[in-house]
Amino acid sequence: MKIKNIEGLSADHLQQEVNKGGKFIYFPFTISFIIITFKRASDVYLIPAGKNVLIKGFPYILLSLLFGWWGIPWGPKHTIQSIRTNMIGGKNVTEEVMSVVAGYALFEETQKKKKF
C-alpha cells in the first residue's frame, strides 16, 4: 500500500505529527459483480490531528454502498463490514507504519555512521 499525505516529511516530522495526534488510516471497500465480490483497501492516509477522518472515508463508503451489495453470497456481508469500519474512522495502522518508519530511520543512521 502506498502512504498518502507524507510527501517531503522526514521520519522525525512523521513522529512529531503522530505525537500531536495524527494517525495513519486505510479504508476498506467492497465491489461486487453478481457472483464475484472484491474486498479491497485504499492507500494509507496520514490524517493530521484535528482533521475529520470521515471526510477521507466517505468516498469508500459511497463506493461500497453503490457497488458492494450485488455479489452473491458475500457482497452484502463484506459491504456491511466495510461500511461499519469506515463509519468508525477506518482501520488505524499507525503503530505498524511507525515501526517501519523507525526501522528506516535506524537504517539511515547506521548508513551515516558507516560513511564516517
pLDDT of 112 higher than 70: yes
Q: Locate 32 and state its grid cell.
A: 461486487
Sign of CA dihedral 30, 33, 34, 40: negative
Output the pLDDT for position 104: 81
Ordered by start, the domain boundaries in the chain are 3-115
* pLDDT above 70 for 116: no
Q: Is 110 or 80 the better-scoring residue by pLDDT?
A: 80
CA distance 14 to 102: 10
**So what's the pLDDT on residue 83?**
97
**C-beta separation of 91 from 41 below 8 A:** yes
What would the pLDDT profile of 1-60 be if each residue is shown by its tens digit? 788 888 888 888 899 999 999 999 999 999 999 899 999 999 999 999 999 999 999 999
- Kindly report the CA angle at 108 between 41 and 15, in degrees rounded to 5? 55
**How many Å apart are CA 75 and CA 115, to the nearest integer?**
55
The predicted-structure confidence for 83-108, as pLDDT tens digits, reads as follows: 999 999 999 999 999 998 888 878 87
